[in-house]
Amino acid sequence: MGHCGFLLWVETGHIGDSNLHKTQLSESQLSCAPVKAPDIATKVLWIASLGSFLSSVTSSIVGVILPKMASSMGVGIVEIQWVMLLPLVVISSFLVPFGHAADTYGHKRIYAFGAFLGFLGALGCALAPGFSSLLLFRGVQGLGASAAMACAPALISLSVEPNKRGRYLGLTSAALYVGLAAGPPLGGFLEQYLGYRAVFVLQAVFSSGLFILTTKYMPELRKGEGRLLNTHVLCSLVFALFIAFVVLAVT
C-alpha cells in the first residue's frame, strides 16, 4: 500500500438489504504500520549551519595572517589585503546568480557544488606557490561561499514547518556570526604554531566534510526547473557585474 496514514472504511451488509453499515478502522488495526520519517529538518539545519559557518570563516580567518603572508610572498600590505577583499567581492557579486542556479538545478546540487569549490579553493591556497595563484584560489573560495550562502536560507525554508522556520533561520544566521567571531583567534593560533598555510588546510578539511555530508545526508527537497531562462541569466550576470564594480570602486 502506498500510504498507511488514512482511515479505511468497510461497507458490510446482506444481499437485498439496503441498509449498509460503515465500520471505521483505526491506524492500529491496519495491516501496515506508519513508518516514522527521519528528522529531515534537523539534518538540514546542521548542514546549512556548517555551510554558513565556513562561508564566514573564509573571510574572517585570514585577517590576522596577512602580515605573515605578505612577508612570505614578497608583496606589500596594500596588495595582500586583496586576499581578504576578493572573496567578499565574489560573494556579493554571485549571490543572485547562484540563487537562480539553485532554483534551476536544485538547491542540494548547488550547495554541494559550493562545498566542492570551497574545498578546491582552500586546497589551492594551501599549495599556492605565488601571490597570483593565491588570489585565483581565493576567488574560487569566494564562489563556493557564495553558493552556500545563497542556498542555506532556501534549504531551511523548504524543510522546516512554517511555525518553526524563524527559529531555524535564526540558528543558521547565528552560525554565520560564530564563524566571523571565531575566525581571527583560530587563524592566529594556527599561524603561530603551524604556519599560515595550515589555515587553508583546515578550511579544506571542513569543506570536504561539508561536501560529503551534503551528498550523503541532504535530501533533495525540491527538484529544480531543469531549464535556464535567458532573461534571468542575463539579469543575474548584469547584477553580478554591477555589484563587483561598486565594491571595487569603494575599496
Measured distance CA(187)–CA(21) in Å, rounded:
74
Spell out the domain ranges in the chain.
Answer: 1-36, 40-250
CB neighbours of residue 119 within 10 Å: 23
Identity of the residue numbered 160:
V
pLDDT computed for residue 225 by the predictor: 56
- Report pTM: 0.76
Polymer length in residues for the chain: 251
pLDDT for 15: 40
What confidence score (pLDDT) does residue 213 get?
Answer: 93
Ranked by mean pLDDT, which of 15-24, 133-142, 157-166, 212-221 comes out on top?
Answer: 133-142
Residues 6+ apart with CB under 8 A from 222: 106, 107, 158
Whether 214 and 112 have beta carbons less than 8 Å apart is answered as: yes
pLDDT in tens, 155-169: 988 888 888 888 899
* Cell numbers found for residue 112: 554541494
The CA distance from 81 to 61, in Å, is 13
Tell me how far apart the alpha carbons of residues 118 and 59 are, in angstroms, rounded to a whole number: 12
CATH T-level fold of 40-250: Growth Hormone; Chain: A; (1.20.1250)
Pair 30, 4: CB distance under 8 Å: yes
pLDDT at 209 over 70: yes
Asked whether 149 and 95 are in contact (CB, 8 A), the reply is yes
pLDDT above 90 coverage of the chain, percent: 29
pLDDT in tens, 28-82: 343 333 333 448 888 898 999 998 898 888 888 898 899 889 888 888 888 898 9
C-alpha distance from residue 110 to each of 28, 44, 59, 214 (Å):
42, 14, 21, 10
How far apart, in whole angstroms, are the C-alpha atoms of residue 178 and residue 147?
A: 19
CA distance 212 to 133: 26
**Of 52, 85, 63, the residue nearest 190 (C-alpha):** 63
d(CA 153, CA 167): 12
- Band of pLDDT at residue 251, cut at 50, 70 and 90: low
Cα–Cα distance measured from residue 152 to residue 208, given in angstroms and rounded to the nearest whole number? 17
